[in-house]
Amino acid sequence: MHRRTITGFSNPLVKFLRSLREKKHRKRERRFLAEGLRLLTDARENGILPEILVMATGRDPHPLLEALEADVLAAGGDVVEMDVEILAKVTGKDNPQAVAGVFSEFDTSLANIDRGASSIWLVAQAMRDPGNLGTMLRTGDAVGAGGLILIDDCADPFSVEAVRASMGAIFTQKLVMAPWDEFEPWLRSGPGQLVAASLRDPTGYREAAYTAPCFLMVGNESQGLPEAYEKACDIRVTMPMLGRADSLNAAIAGAVLAYEALARIKV
């Protein structure tokens, strides 16, 4: 059991926690921050506990927080209390109910996923917006996808913003990061249909024959997918674009495809 109270702003742990808001520190430490009792409870209910649980000394008692504390201590983790002013430096929120947890990053290699475990997998290529990325995770959870595969240079899925937008799905969806040159051979080494929205010789997205395991891929927010990636797909589908613009938000396009595939997929 490791329980302690921090009273100074300059404590090394406070600096460490603050540093996790920046990508370079997250990469170096292989740790990330999740904030809020709801998110931490989602993690716990999925069997994932923070290594360090941080909260304010003056907080109100809450049964879910007490359960979390007990589990963290039982697992050998640290429970740290600090004045609300110090906690505000960590979370950016002046809220005595604020809680935060430090988690170890997950294994994000392709080897870590079992493609047969789900009918749908979401794939995002060079997705730059952490909010979109978190939303893709959340949508994946809703459609029962196995996880999200991030191709090439995406935003960091372990950023506070992406974790928050995932609404807990960061703890339920498998997460993979791989360059295309690794993903494509892996995909072709087993069963799997690769589908992307494209104007290149496409099928209507409501007529296409989706088969499991189906990998639904969306591209970068402004560039879309590279031509070679589109050509490597088994099916290219179009969605109606009736307005002046010729595109949808990438997370929206992924969700509309995912719900269509969910309804019509052949397992």
Where does this chain bind a second copy (CB under 8 A)?
42, 45-46, 131, 135, 138-144, 165, 167-169, 172, 206, 239-245, 247-249, 251-252, 255-256, 259-260, 262-263
CB atoms within 10 A of CB 242: 5
Q: Smaller CB distance to a second copy: residue 190 or 243? A: 243
CB of 138 to a second copy, least distance (A): 6
Round to whole Å and give the CA distance between 13 and 24: 17
Indicate the residue among 42 and 156 with the shorter CB distance to a second copy: 42
- In the complex, least distance from residue 237 CB atom to a second copy, rounded to whole angstroms: 12
The residues, any chain, with a CB within 8 Å of residue 55's CB and separated by 6 or more, are 65, 79, 80, 81, 82, 87, 98, 99, 100
Identity of the residue, 20 or 39, whose beta carbon is nearer to a second copy in the bound complex: 39
Nearer to a second copy, 80 or 143 (CB): 143
What distances in angstroms separate CA 119 from CA 146, 192, 196, 248, one per listed residue? 8, 9, 16, 24
Least distance (Å) from a second copy to the CB of residue 227? 22
Closest distance to a second copy from the beta carbon of 47 (Å): 12
